[in-house]
């Protein structure tokens, strides 16, 4: 009887500990705000912690920025890049890593991870 109680207690403790384990988020991939083509924003987070940020929504001010990224909890921060344009450099990870959101002032941007990336 004692063995059964100890076994059940161990199982309950294991389940309790696992319920507090943080959700795994795979942020590596390509995120876009619109279907591929002209007039879209794209963020490519690579395995080696480098990124490519491309914004061609304004054909007169097309932006392509390269740099490094870092994941800190529920945020991805873009760093080590050079640009003269305002860049969304802090992205909130949501939806198990399938969506990233950013804000500069009153401008909000939401990107969705592309399937197969």
Q: 3-state class of 42 per DSSP?
A: strand
Per-residue pLDDT tens over the stretch 4-22: 776 767 666 666 655 555 5
- Please, what is the end-to-end C-alpha distance for the chain in angstroms? 52
Domains of the chain, start order: 25-113 (2.40.128.640)
pLDDT at 5: 77
**Partner residues linked to 66 by β-bridges:** 52
pLDDT at 63: 85
Per-residue pLDDT tens over the stretch 43-71: 999 999 999 998 887 778 888 899 999 99
pLDDT at 24 over 80: no
Q: 3-state class of 10 per DSSP?
A: helix
């Amino acid at each position: 009887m004692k063995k059964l109680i100890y076994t059940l207690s161990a199982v309950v403790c294991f389940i309790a500990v696992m319920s507090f384990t943080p959700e795994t988020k795979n942020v590596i991939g390509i995120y876009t705000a619109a279907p591929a083509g002209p007039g879209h924003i794209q963020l490519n987070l690579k395995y080696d912690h480098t990124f490519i940020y491309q914004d061609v929504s304004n054909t007169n001010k097309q932006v392509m920025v390269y740099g490094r990224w870092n994941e800190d909890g529920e945020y991805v921060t873009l760093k080590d890049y050079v640009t003269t344009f305002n860049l969304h450099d802090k992205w909130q990870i949501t939806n198990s890593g399938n969506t990233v959101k950013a804000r500069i002032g009153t401008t909000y941007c939401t990107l969705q991870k592309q399937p197969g990336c």
